[in-house]
Amino acid sequence: MEDLKDLLPVEAVRLDVRVADWREAIGAAGRLMVETGATTDEYTGEMVANVEENGPYIVIAPGVAFAHSRPSPAVLRTGMSWVRLAGPVEFGHESNDPVTLVVALAAQDSAAHTSAMGSLARLLGDPVTAAALAEAPTPEALHAVLAGERAENGSETTGPAAAAEPSGPEVSATPEPPTASAPRAVSLHKILTVCGNGVGTSLFLKNTLEQVLDRWGWSRFVTVEATDTISAKGKASEAVALLTSREIARTLGDVGRPVKVVQDFTSTAEVDAVLRDTYDV
């Protein structure tokens, strides 16, 4: 598994970049991956085409877009880039626009970057860390926050292992397991998290859902699988529910299982509420 700091070198970070629209924002993120040897120029076009085809589902949280496409010959190695915009731009998302941060991913497969996606989801989901990332004065300072290292003033930055304990409805009234009569059973239920390509936003949502399941003590009763739209249609019958964005839910249509929409893929509070609705608890 690749770590976030390995996939996202400081050379792939640009701050306060001026762009005219969402295509230029993705283009800026794509150029950084070309410059750092992760992709060719063709991959940038593939990321733009992904949004044109599937809609702005890559806007995974308020102000945050996660640009990516399927693994392809244009991906030379798995890598990432980070572009903080000088001004917000509209991607067309119903609730998470406008965007001020574009994180881009180029993946050679669906496995190597799983750990990095989990780390990034936890960082962006923590308000203290998110604020530190938004205020970082230099790429080096931002990279230090991502790596959980000490900031220049000597204070400890928040990393994946030091994320703040969330508050709110997700930490109260933990429900009983879905099959209390069989407490030793493993993987009794499956939930699919779905995105257009199965290697990006679905991994974000998978990590957030697993955080909630861990907090509930349900992890041994429910497994979570990140997948793409095509695979999800074939696997839907195996699942209790499918969690995804509004745009991808429209693409999926009726798959014979509940399709639950999540707006903020980094919010444990929202995912907690969706999970409670799924199990009526």
Q: Which of 68, 93, 113, 189 is catalytic?
A: 68
CA 182/CA 119 separation, integer angstroms? 32
Residue with token string 């696997």: 235
Question: Where does the chain show beta strands of DSSP type E?
Answer: 13-17, 59-61, 64-68, 79-89, 99-106, 189-195, 222-228, 241-244, 259-261
How big is the CA angle at 169 (ends 248 and 93), to the nearest 5 degrees? 25
The helix/strand/coil state of 153 is coil
Could you give the CA distance from residue 159 to residue 151 in angstroms, rounded to a whole number?
12
Tokens, residue 230:
């095509």
DSSP code for 177: P
Specify whether 68 is catalytic: yes
- The catalytic residue positions are 68
